[in-house]
Amino acid sequence: MRFLVPLFAPLALALTGCAATLPPETAAAPSPTRAQGAVSSADPRATAAGEAILAQGGSATDAAIAVMLALTVVEPQSSGIGGGGFMLRADGDSDDIVTIDGRETAPAAATATRFLDAEGKVLPRETRVFSGLSVGVPGNIALAAETHEKFGKLPWAALFEPAIALARDGFVMNRRLHESLAANKGRADKTEAARATFFGADGEPLPIGATLTVPALADTFAALAAAGPQAMYGADAAAGLAAYVAGETPQDGAMTAADVTAYDAKLRKPVCVRYRVYRVCGMGPPSSGGVAVGQMLGQLERFDLAALGPDSPRFWHLFVESQRLAYADRELYLADADFVEVPVAGLVDPAYMASRSALISSTSALAKVEAGTPPGAPLARGDGPEEPENGTTHFAVADAEGNAVSYTSTVEGAFGSGLYWNGFYLNNELTDFTLTPEADDKPVANRVEGGKRPRSSMAPTIVYDADGRVVLVIGAAGGPTIPVQVARAIIGVVDFGLTAEAALGLPFIMSFGDVVVIEEGLLEAMENDLKALGHGNIRTSGAPLKANALRRLPGGGWEAAVDPRLKGKLDYE
């Protein structure tokens, strides 16, 4: 990964926490369980919206849509209808899994030099991120409509009622939103409408505990509830959205109404791998999440991780080495498969993963990591510079019939592009494209192209046991850390026997190129051991973690788990 800005800039503004490594015998008690379904999200008000839909007899899909809409109101910094997402839906009566792509698209007129100036140099961050250049056609409403048509039970309009109430009647500013607004001044307050909603006359964010209303968003929701997705993708709505984004676009191909009306959510083939006796399924391209999670697990399967345990420096060493190999492949091969050849089957082929695993030594770090050559791999690919990913939210839902949904939703950076339209922030997802079309005179798979969807790290995941039952519904937020968080938590549940909450609270460690980042206060005691294993460049940082999961309990029902790092961030005082 070749980032243009310091590696730790996104981490410094992230959530920090004090979770500890918990061996199985001291794992924390499960969070509250639900026998007739469950919801886990990053905000209790969004969780309540999903639970209300389940209580009305709604499906897991219905509840997930209600959660996504509610998060648009109460967690605008992370996701919303101005962005996109990926959804996995598992059937309660079979092992069938459906994956749907609601990722944003580049305008048809976008070119490979979208983020370069006339001399071929990368544009300043202010220009490429905080403008219409970064905005892709939003996909979340199309995704919701597609999945509701297939798997919904309640009327479409009913799914909007909790979010409309939050936006119209008001919701309380919590600590996390307040701190995010303060940390992103210049972005969150870019428009007059956003300033009027979230900021006071003094230009500072409204205080923690203040009641906020977003009448413009309530009106948008009401229109969508009445007219369906036409209220976003129909001719009149599309023309208004496109004109606003185009007016904020300083160069290159601007968004048009035709770009918006042409948008569709797409059914994709899931990426599934075997890990121990489990089947782990995730999202395929344009997400890199399913492949990366599958590769990390597949490369580690030959090691007895349970015997090592989470307090072993050797386990964390092995985990980092597997990350390095998986991310080297990701950078070279993963992109929108509608535009470039992506060797998904080869990347998760058991024999190929075994060959990559054979490169991992339990006693020393690899001096250099390069992408492999999986079956079907295209040759001559380049790895160009890219903007660091961050932001995002995840939620997991199970209903009384055993259907489960794993949904990751995002506007990319905090408050997206900063552009604010009809009560919601518009994404900056197009900065997830690699910024240059070539590297080392080779084409970059994730280069900008008209109509293309940028590569994502989002990794909504569903895990099945040996009997084909869903036992874990999981995903995370945090840009490129997402696959690492998900793989780590799966190992925590499967290998270490942890509850979902304890697994989400495991320490964070990740390799960024030649730098290994460890979560301050959690793995620092192992730093010398990790250096002795060959990880010489270690830095500590706050961890940008925000994961959610549902774990099926042996006696029935679900454990609904939230990353413990969120505790203290959601209060109102």
Q: Of 459, 461, 485, which Cα lies nearest the Cα of 473? A: 461
CA atoms lying within 13 Å on the CB side of residue 258: 7
Q: Does the structure show a pLDDT above 50 at 16?
A: no
Whole-number pLDDT of residue 390:
57
Dump pLDDT digits (tens) for 189-245: 999 999 999 999 999 999 999 999 999 999 999 999 999 999 999 999 999 999 999
Q: Can you give the residue range of the structural domain that contains 114?
A: 2-23+33-268+390-440+451-566
Alpha-carbon distances of 310 from 17, 22, 507, 543, rounded to whole Å: 18, 7, 9, 17
Interacting residues of 480 by C-beta distance below 8 A, sequence separation 6+? 1, 327, 388, 389, 457, 510, 512
Read off the amino acid at residue 395. F
Angle between helices 215-227 and 60-74 (to 10 degrees): 150
**Short-list 281, 298, 266, CA closest to 91:** 281
| Higher per-residue confidence, 521 vs 175 | 175
DSSP state of 278: E
Question: What are the tokens at 317?
Answer: 């060493």
Domain total for the chain?
Answer: 1
Residue 194 neighbours by CB under 8 Å, 6+ apart: 188, 415, 418, 420, 425
Which residues partner with 519 through β-bridges?
A: 541
Q: Is 325 part of any domain?
A: no
C-alpha to C-alpha distance for 373 and 469, rounded to whole angstroms: 34
What span, in angstroms and rounded, lies between the C-alpha atoms of 454 and 479? 13
Answer whether residue 177 is part of any domain.
yes
Cis bond before residue 124 (omega within 30° of 0): no
18 — pLDDT class (breaks 50, 70, 90): very low
**Residues with Cβ < 8 Å from 433, sequence gap 6 or more?**
106, 114, 115, 386, 446, 447, 448, 452, 454, 455
Q: Is residue 144 a part of any domain in this protein?
A: yes
Distance from C-alpha of 400 to C-alpha of 239, rounded to nearest angstrom: 41
Tokens 């349970």 -> residue: 306
Confidence of residue 522 (pLDDT cuts 50, 70, 90): confident
Q: Is the pTM of this model over 0.75?
A: yes
In a domain, 102, yes or no: yes
CATH code: domain of residue 68: 3.60.20.40
124 in any annotated domain: yes
DSSP state, residue 534: T
Q: Are 105 and 161 in contact, with CB atoms under 8 Å apart?
A: no
CA-wise closest residue to 152 among 222, 103, 100, 104: 100
Check pLDDT > 90 for residue 148: yes
Q: What per-residue confidence (pLDDT) applies to 388?
A: 55
Active-site residue, 111 included: no
- Going 179 to 184 to 186 to 191, the CA torsion angle's sign is negative
Q: How far apart are CA 134 and CA 416, in angstroms?
A: 9
CA 349 to chain centre: 24
The pLDDT value recorded for residue 441 is 78
Examine the pLDDT at 172 and tell me if it is beyond 60: yes
pLDDT of 7: 40
Whether residue 350 is contained in a domain is answered as no
Which residues 6+ apart lie within 8 Å of 396 measured at CB? 38, 39, 40, 41, 404, 405, 406, 407, 473, 474, 475, 548, 549, 550, 560
- Which residue, chain included where needed, has tokens 């790092």? 565
What pLDDT band is residue 456 in, cutting at 50, 70 and 90? very high
Please give the Cα distance from 537 to 162 (Å, whole number): 48
284, part of any domain: no
* pLDDT > 60? residue 383: no
Q: How far is CA 483 from CA 63, 310, 323, 360, 457, in A?
A: 25, 18, 9, 19, 7
Instruction: Catalytic residue, from 392, 410, 461, 481: name it.
Output: 392
Residue 460 phi/psi, 5-degree rounding, is -60, 135
Query: What is the Cα 562 distance to its own chain's centre?
Result: 15
Domain presence at residue 148: yes
**pLDDT score of 26:** 29
Query: pLDDT at position 386, please?
Result: 54
The tokens describing 556, both together, are 């029935």
Q: pLDDT value at position 130?
A: 96
Residue 12 has pLDDT above 70, yes or no: no
